[in-house]
Every structure is written in C-alpha cells, then in structure tokens.
Amino acid sequence: MIKGTESLRILARQNVLTNTDCFNLLEERRLLLAPHLRDMSLKALCDLKIVGVTGGRRRRPLRMGGVAQKFTKDIPYRPYREECTLDIVMEGDSVFDFDTRGIFPDDDVYYHGHFKGDFIREQGKVEAVGEVLKFWGLTRNNTWITVETTLRFISQPRDLIHYANFEMITWVERLVVHESTSAEICQFCEVTPRWLWQRLGDTVHAWVTHRNLLLSNAETLDETVRQEEMLVNIIAKQ
C-alpha cells in the first residue's frame, strides 16, 4: 500500500509542474529520506575519488582525503617517490570535515583539467592552472551542503631515471563546505530542483539494489551454515 504523502497530493494533477512545485517535491523527498539516512551506507567526503574526464595520460583516481605518491629529486641521480598525506586547507562551517557522510551527486568528482598555455617549468615540474569544482551533498543529519574543491595539476615523470613519460597528478588544495538550502544548491551547482529530486530517487533505488544483494549473499551463507549444523547434529546422534 502506498503511504499518503504531500508529494502524491502535488502530483495528483494534470497541469504542468511549476518551479515552486518542484522545490516542494524536493523538500518532501528530503523529509521522506530523513529517517533512513542513519541506516544506510553513505560515503564520506574523503572517500570521493577525483577523476579526469578528458584525454591524455592520467594516474589512477585519487581519493580526496587519501595519500599520494609525491615525486622528489632531492638526492642527485636518485629521484624517487614517497607517500605523503595531502595537505588540504579545510574551510567553511566547522561542523563539517572530511569524515562528513552523505549523499553526493556521484561516487566520484569529475574534473576537466588540462594543461594551459600559461604553465611554468620549475625544478623539473610543470605547474598547470588549477580548477575549481562545485558539487552538493545531503548529509547523514539531513542537511544540505555545498562543496567547493580547488584542484591543482602537476606533471611528474613516470620514468624516474630518465625523467620521461610525464603524467598528470591531481592535488586537492582547498575544500570549502557550507550548510545550504535546495534553492542555493540549484544556483551554486547550476542544476534544477527536478534534477536534484530525481538524484535522491536514484539513491533510494541504489539502496534497494545493494540491500537485495546483501540479503542474497546472507541467505546463501545462512543455507551453508544450516547444512553444516544439520550434519554436525546427525554425527552427534550416532
């Protein structure tokens, strides 16, 4: 049985939905999800991957809050890579940090960065102009947020001995997170309330698919355990 909601009342019509209707539908969907946000698996900001969508050589996607292989050439003729934690400037509302979990537009953050004509070569590295990415989130506490990420692109060699075969490495320099509203998000991310509403719906569909998979795996495991226990009981009675 379908539970009656304000959304169904809004949709029980024949005329075209107005922009106000779409914002009302979005707010109703946010409230509908509220009791379930604590129960579902949600990604943290630091788990989002930075992925390039343009061509060229690129390293594997980097976690926004992860570590990177940093190229150094401090020792003559012995260049090497070392793991280093990314030194990221976190700004905005203090209640949000890299561990903030929620629904985000995608599992990955996509950038279109590429080398531009005003790069400079310094100490064996080619610095490229950075890029600012904007996206939204709905936190586990059912709060809308806006996220602004500043990326920097550095070209570093794959071949450390001959200093050749350069690849682009993406660095997250700055992350700004603010509490927001649906109207502010639509303007900030240049999306429509209808798109946001559908994205939350897609998340619910993904939850169902994931839970069904977990249930199927659990049922298979349960069947194996029951068979083993049955055999043990049979042996014990002999």
207 domain-assigned = yes
pLDDT in the model for residue 122: 43
2 domain-assigned = no
More confident position, 23 or 2:
23
3 domain-assigned = no
In contact, 115 and 125? CB cutoff 8 Å: no
Per DSSP, which regions of 53-190 are E strands? 62-63, 67-72, 80-85, 89-92, 101-103, 108-111, 120-122, 125-139, 144-159, 164-179
More confident position, 192 or 60:
192
Grade residue 113 by pLDDT with cuts at 50, 70 and 90: low
Q: 155 pairs with which residues across the strands?
A: 126, 168
97 domain-assigned = yes
* Count of structural domains, the chain: 1
Residue 63 has which token pair?
Answer: 């976690």
101 domain-assigned = yes
- The region, left, alpha or beta by phi > 0 then psi within -120 to 50, assigned to residue 40 is beta
Q: What CA–CA distance (Å, rounded) separates 211 from 219?
A: 12
pLDDT of 65 above 80: no
6 domain-assigned = no
Q: Compute the average pLDDT of residues 90-103.
A: 86
9 domain-assigned = no
CA atoms within 13 A on the CB side of 224: 6
**78-95 confidence digits (pLDDT tens):** 444 444 445 567 788 888
Give residue 21's domain range.
17-214
More confident position, 48 or 14:
48
Q: 133 pairs with which residues across the strands?
A: 149
98 domain-assigned = yes
Grade residue 8 by pLDDT with cuts at 50, 70 and 90: low
In contact, 47 and 102? CB cutoff 8 Å: no
**196-211 confidence digits (pLDDT tens):** 999 999 999 999 999 9
Q: Which amino acid is it at 62?
A: L
pLDDT of 103 above 90: yes
Q: What CA–CA distance (Å, rounded) separates 174 from 238?
A: 69
Most confident of 33-37, 41-45, 162-166: 33-37
